[in-house]
Amino acid sequence: MPASHTRPTPAPLLKPGETVVLFDGVCKLCNGWARFLIRHDHDRRVRLAAVQSPEGQALLAWAGLPLDQFDTLAVIRDRQYWERSEAVFEIIAQLPARWRPLLVLRAIPRFLRDWAYDRIARNRYRLFGKYDTCLLPDPDHARRFLKGPP
């Protein structure tokens, strides 16, 4: 299984080279991850989109991922997308240098990383909780979220 998946066309709604992180907008763990990215991505290298949003749904459809059951984090850039543990490492690579030592964990075989990832992802609501609806970004963070054309 390749580290990334390649599609024949560029992802919709994205500018060339733009990176978007798709996350479960009702998952408390996923929302915490999104807030972490907003706080630590000072260079604004990644944008965010909840999978429940119209933008998230369009990107899921483009990648051929399920539109109604989403148990993984995804990162999309140009014609490529990453899932599960590879998506996490793709995000870490976009963060400031102080976070890059975590990339050493990539040495762990992917099947083990993805096995652990899947256990957490499948139990995330029970372990961390769930919101009733997608949380809206704070007004000062709204520009960090991908928006489709009006």
Cα 57 from Cα 62, distance rounded (Å): 9
C-alpha angle with apex 66: 106 to 90, nearest 5 degrees? 20
In this prediction the pTM is: 0.89
C-alpha angle with apex 62: 60 to 66, nearest 5 degrees? 35
87: tokens are 């998506």
**Alpha helices by DSSP H, 12-53:** 28-40
The pLDDT profile of the chain, 150 residues, written as one tens digit per residue, is: 568 899 999 999 999 999 999 999 889 999 888 989 999 998 999 999 999 999 999 999 999 999 988 888 999 999 999 999 999 999 999 999 999 999 999 999 999 999 999 999 999 989 999 888 776 667 767 788 888 776
112: tokens are 């083990």
Residue 21 near residue 51 (C-beta atoms within 8 A):
no
